[in-house]
Amino acid sequence: MRKARILLAGAPTGCWSNAGDEAILEALAEGFEEAIPGVRLAVVSSNPAGFLESKGIAAIPYADLEAIEVAIATSDLLLLGGGSIFFDYWGAEPETLLTSRHEGLSLWAGLALLASARGVPFGAVGVGLGPLESADGRLLSSLALAPARLLSLRDAESVRLVAELRVPETRIRLAADPVVRFDPRTFVDLPVETEGAARPWLGVALRQWEHGIDPALWEAAVATALDQHLATYGGTLFFVAMHRAVPWPLADDAAAATRVAARMVHDDACRYVPATRPWRERAAVLARSDTALAMRLHGALFALAGGVPTVGLVYDPKVRGLFASWGCPEHALSLADTTSGEIAHALARAHASSDADRCALRARRVELATREQENANMVRELLALPRPVTLQIPADLTNTFRPRLRKLSAMRPMQLSAALDSLLGENSEEARPITRVAILTNRLLDWQTGEPCYGGAERYALELARLFTELGLDVTFFQRGGPEGGEFFGFPVVPLAGEERFSEFETGVGAEFFERSWSFDHVLYLMPNYASGPIRGDAIVVCHGVWWDHDLYDDRFAFRSPEWTEHLRRVFTRPRRVVAVDLNSLNVVRALFPEAAPRLRRIPSWVDVDLFRPPNGSRPGPPLVLFPRRAEIVRGTRLVAPILAALAGCGVRFRWLGDGYEEELERLRAVAASDSRLELTSAPFEVMPTHYREAEICVIPTVGSEGLSLSCLEAMASGCAVVATDVGGLGELVQHEVNGLLCRPDAEEIAAAVRRCLDEPELRDRLQIAARATAERHSLDRWREGWRRELVDLGWIPARDRSPKELISMQPTPQLPARTSRDDPWDVVCFSIINWEFRWQRPQQIATELARRGRRVFYLRNGEYLPPGGPAFELRPLGENIWEVVLAASEPFNIYDGEIPSGTRKLFLAGLRALATEQEIDRAIALVDLATWTPVAEEAANTLGWNLVYDCMDDWATFPGIADKPTLLARERELVTRASLVVVSSGTIHERWAPLRDDLLLLRNAADFDHFHGCAGEDPLPDVKNPIAGYFGAIASWFDVNLVSAVATARPDVTFVLIGEVFDAEIDALASLPNVLLLGHQPYERLPAFLRRFDVCLVPFEVSSATAGMDVVKIYEYFCSGKPVVATPIREIVHLAPLVRLAADAAGFLHELDAALTEDDPAAVLARIHHAKENTWARRVDEMEQETYDRTTRSDVGHYRALAVARREMGTIARERDTLRTELETSRRELAALAGEIDALRTELRTIHSSRLWRSANLYWRLRRFLSRR
């Protein structure tokens, strides 16, 4: 008789790292063997090789999808077994289901759905649920539990949550944690760390935790309580590490214990039981302790099961549930709210427990062990079910979930996708009629082997086909050559054999495609060089870049000859639509063939920022420089050897990632043979993200024929520092020294840029962060939406498929007088004081918050201008709804001098008018940050009907570097009197301008609370010991260097960490001190991680007229963490006392610093955090929006509105004239397009007339006529 086979997942999946999970596995195995003798177990596993096998259990690698499918199909039962496996503290990713990236909830749900699709019985045994705070977490949990025939849950709270997920009550059973079947007092072996340990023993099982709480607060409270306990009772304290240090969030128990012990006075009484000890030894320590303190659930369970009075620190509801189930809920203290005194009192009460109390705990284990047997009973019932076992998934779940699956579908094997389709398709919406689309491309399947090819063009083709399929279109690919009957990720691929060609134009293949695609509803060419022969008039051609910008090919190519030019003209002037991925292609084609302009559209390339993402930690080993390129001469293969030669001895690895043409691959192999640093490899789509995450630097050495490179986008999304050539569309992505380095396609320049990234880690880090931000502006969703709009416009899909957001955007923009609701749309044109990439301050915060609300923000750039005579402006995307505007200027000038040259002023105004026309900016505020802009901003506001708003962020009359600029100060006075709204950032500035206006809006600075409160991220100061007094911000002339030097000298045991660029400040005295770290500028994204390490935050500014008007932003950011702040009494900080400790001199500063370092006042921490919550940029922008609305609607400012309307009317005549010109030009273009379509029709008719079928039909009718005359 065949033995039963059970496949387990859940706690056993990664149990090697966690004592509790390993105990669950052994408990389940023991229970199943008792109930089902001879049962064979396998585990879907992330454990190290050999770990499970040593226990007689088979391991199925969790990332091996084929092995998982086979394991499920050959099992008699799938079980999600034991532990807290349904939670979403760190989010949930439905898209990763049944891909190699699945983990946690997506892994459990994928296994459950696959078992249901294969008819395999499925259940959950001894599991716990919660918290489930996100919609995605609940969706995946519902999908995982919906197919379960039976579920046994370990606590009442989990039962309640499962009921909320609409699992029928008849399937639910209350059991117990599988581990209660063990009596840990019977474990004989104790770890060596217990030898000679004095009694009484205090067992402590802590874990790292910072979710919604400052770890420094609870760690300090625990340390104080443990000290008090040891001082009272003596004995030995055992820190028992339940979890190994692994690269998962908050998993290093030993690190938490070490930090707590470092705060203790009696640390000499502490011993550490490491996570490398067998789990039974660690359980035995806790079970034989006299008292225990536990955060880890199974640490508490081991102690309770041994009859040890235990105090629980509740970081998760499951811990409170455990103590409730053991009848001692009063021993569970909330981690977020408890104090050191409460913990010490609870430990003292536990220590004083009677023998009867201890016996009651051991008796409770026996009761729970009896209930735990329900787990094995349930498994027997499940095994008795006849196969196949299927349960229908609720329709609302499948309809919600199905669209999410497409995102990572390239990583999901076809057979698994089919299984999901069969399972989830039962409740699908009514399908729309299928429309057939033929797509012609170069090569998806290898011409010789028929294997899939992996490159940017192939990824583009695949994602486009998937989008078309989702929109109800049926896709068939055609390619030049290759095997018959092939498939590319499930899409059929038809080979074409046409031989005729001219230069790179494949006219023979194009003609055969033309003949064979007539039965299709639509056609699309992914390679323009196939579209110079006969094509249909409704065709779409996709252009991936200007491919003729070089002379690197052999004599077969006739670039720029008259006949070649005619082929190129035919490619771009005859299709109904030409879609370019980059602006460079669009502009070049428009310049060469003006008649093609009406057909041209731009849909920028994309990157899946969820799939391509930076690594979680630092990259191991020597730095890796990646070349993610197809092996072609235009992709820079012949630059590799000299690049490597120029980088000799720099201690890095190089990797060429990609296949390609054999001749170029041979060249690369020769380079690799002579230089062992170079590795050649290629990878399927699903593996490529791993290569990018390993690389510090990514080189795009293109020498020609480049569009908006997918490889470049993928590298940027993966957090690589990008070095790219200024070829094609690369300059559209990479801004030199902002988010990458641009250079000529020259080996020495590329090597120098790589070396610079290696030698300047701060630059490399900054580029990596900025690159990721750029990639996020090219998301897959944006690309898909661009294509969907085009398909609607072309009639490929019905207009009813427009999204609600698009339908809203199609409505006419309200004119200025018609505004009746605060929700009416208006844009923001920001006349900036600093460029976007400069230190993150008030202007970027306000602009970002406005953009987050759906307002378009156009942010004018300083110092970089376009040459006169060319485009009036250039737009560069900065973020969601934010664009940088570069205007043309007649000559260079300094924006901080207060004057814009007259010629440049005219160009600026022309550029703003062109911007308003092209971007349809109707209602807007002209938000001025620096008064130099006054004449330009005022004129633009007057002529375009915008509202003029001045945001005065500093008292410029006293500000260093500005106070001596009389022209700028005079401009500011004009602006204050003429703006419709003046916003000031401090009370001092309000006092200054109050005599001129009585309607000033005081809008102090604020903080991004969510950004700074979480304080997440890798420790940026791993080698620096606390205590730390920290500062971030500019170290400028107002920074009191002498004060900080004196304080640091007097407190050598305190490390002073100073972060920020140095401006006009003498810091030699600071730099010479051993306990002062000057770290320079750090990216805004990293500041929370530094703040987390600070014990005290500093604002050591000189008290002077220059600082009197400063509302210091960093105060609000410091408050987000609750950390104490010590500051000098500058005017705008004084009102924040007592939240801030104030001191006017070095002696006072020392006194306040010492007090802050020893502060133990949770109420003060909460007060600072509360102040930060009440002073966020979101609230500030709420006030600004309300005031802006009021100023444009209240009757007492009707003057401004009437004036704006009148000025708009004055410009109407000029605009109507421009409109007539535009309409005339449009008519000309339409006539040209019509002529092109007529040419295409003539071509089609000539082709038909010359075909064999036409000749046969013509001969037939001629014979009929001849015979009829007879």
- The residue-averaged pLDDT of 500-521 equals 90
Query: If you average pLDDT over every residue of the chain, what do you get?
Result: 87
**Structure confidence at residue 1212 (pLDDT):** 47
Q: Please report which confidence band the pLDDT of residue 426 belongs to, taking 50, 70 and 90 as the band edges.
A: very low
Q: Where are the domains of the chain?
A: 5-175+379-403, 189-353, 432-602, 624-778, 824-1002, 1009-1175, 1212-1269
- The residue-averaged pLDDT of 711-733 equals 94
Q: Residue 806 above 50 pLDDT?
A: no
What fold, for 1009-1175? Rossmann fold (3.40.50)
Q: Which CATH code fits 432-602?
A: 3.40.50.2000
Considering only 111-115, 498-502, 725-729, which range has the smallest mean pLDDT? 498-502
Q: Which of 580-594, 1041-1055, 1233-1247 has the highest mean pLDDT?
A: 1041-1055
CATH class of 824-1002: alpha beta
Cβ–Cβ under 8 Å, residues 261 and 267: yes
**Structure confidence at residue 247 (pLDDT):** 74
Q: What type of residue sits at position 273?
A: V
Helix (H) or strand (E) holding 1100: none
Q: Residue 1200 above 50 pLDDT?
A: no
Per residue in 744-782, pLDDT tens? 999 999 999 999 999 999 899 889 988 988 888 888 888
- The residue-averaged pLDDT of 412-418 equals 73
Q: What are phi and psi of 757, to 5 degrees?
A: -65, -35
For residues 671-685, b (16+ Cβ closer than 10 Å) or e, as one string?
A: bbeeeebbebebeeb
More confident residue, 1249 or 1033: 1033
Helix (H) or strand (E) holding 974: helix 966-978
More confident residue, 434 or 722: 722
More confident residue, 386 or 893: 893
Q: What type of residue sits at position 1161?
A: D
- The residue-averaged pLDDT of 368-384 equals 92
Strand partners, 502: 505
For residues 1218-1247, b (16+ Cβ closer than 10 Å) or e, as one string?
A: eeeeeeeeeeebeebbeebeeebeebbeee
Q: Please report which confidence band the pLDDT of residue 799 belongs to, taking 50, 70 and 90 as the band edges.
A: low
Range 189-353 classified under CATH 3.40.50.300: no
What percent of the chain lies above the pLDDT cut of 90?
Answer: 58
* DSSP states along 1032-1067: ES-B-TTB-HHHHHHHHHH-TTSEEEEES-B-S---
More confident residue, 1245 or 1197: 1245
**Structure confidence at residue 818 (pLDDT):** 30
**Structure confidence at residue 738 (pLDDT):** 86
Strand partners, 1077: 1057
Superfamily of domain 624-778: Glycogen Phosphorylase B; (3.40.50.2000)
Among candidates 1061, 1145, 523, which has minimal Cα distance to 834? 1061
Q: Residue 1210 above 50 pLDDT?
A: no
Q: Residue 117 above 60 pLDDT?
A: yes
Dist. CA 315–CA 336, nearest whole Å: 7
| Three-state secondary structure of 309-371 | CEEEEECCHHHHHHHHHCCCHHHEEECCCCCHHHHHHHHHHHHCCCHHHHHHHHHHHHHHHHH
Q: Please report which confidence band the pLDDT of residue 797 belongs to, taking 50, 70 and 90 as the band edges.
A: confident
Dist. CA 654–CA 8, nearest whole Å: 41
**Structure confidence at residue 802 (pLDDT):** 38
- The residue-averaged pLDDT of 1196-1210 equals 40
Per residue in 325-363, pLDDT tens? 999 999 999 999 899 999 999 999 999 999 999 999 999
Per residue in 939-956, pLDDT tens? 999 888 899 999 999 999
Per residue in 641-656, pLDDT tens? 999 999 998 889 999 9
Total residues belonging to the chain: 1270
**Structure confidence at residue 488 (pLDDT):** 92
Per residue in 853-866, pLDDT tens? 889 999 999 988 88
DSSP for residue 174: E
- The residue-averaged pLDDT of 980-990 equals 93
**Structure confidence at residue 1253 (pLDDT):** 60
Q: Please report which confidence band the pLDDT of residue 1207 belongs to, taking 50, 70 and 90 as the band edges.
A: very low
Q: What is the pTM of this model?
A: 0.44
Q: Residue 886 above 90 pLDDT?
A: yes
Give me the helices (H) in 605-683, please. 640-646, 662-674
Q: Please report which confidence band the pLDDT of residue 1108 belongs to, taking 50, 70 and 90 as the band edges.
A: confident
Same fold, 432-602 and 1009-1175: yes
Q: Please report which confidence band the pLDDT of residue 254 belongs to, taking 50, 70 and 90 as the band edges.
A: very high
Mention every residue, 6+ apart, whose C-beta is less than 8 A from residue 242: 18, 19, 20, 205, 207, 253, 275, 282, 296, 298, 299
Q: Which CATH architecture has domain 5-175+379-403?
A: 3-Layer(aba) Sandwich (3.40)
Cβ–Cβ under 8 Å, residues 537 and 794: no
Cβ–Cβ under 8 Å, residues 896 and 838: no
**Structure confidence at residue 388 (pLDDT):** 67
- Residue 756 CB coordination number (10 Å): 15
Q: Please report which confidence band the pLDDT of residue 817 belongs to, taking 50, 70 and 90 as the band edges.
A: very low
Q: Residue 935 above 50 pLDDT?
A: yes
Cβ–Cβ under 8 Å, residues 217 and 337: no
Q: What type of residue sits at position 1?
A: M
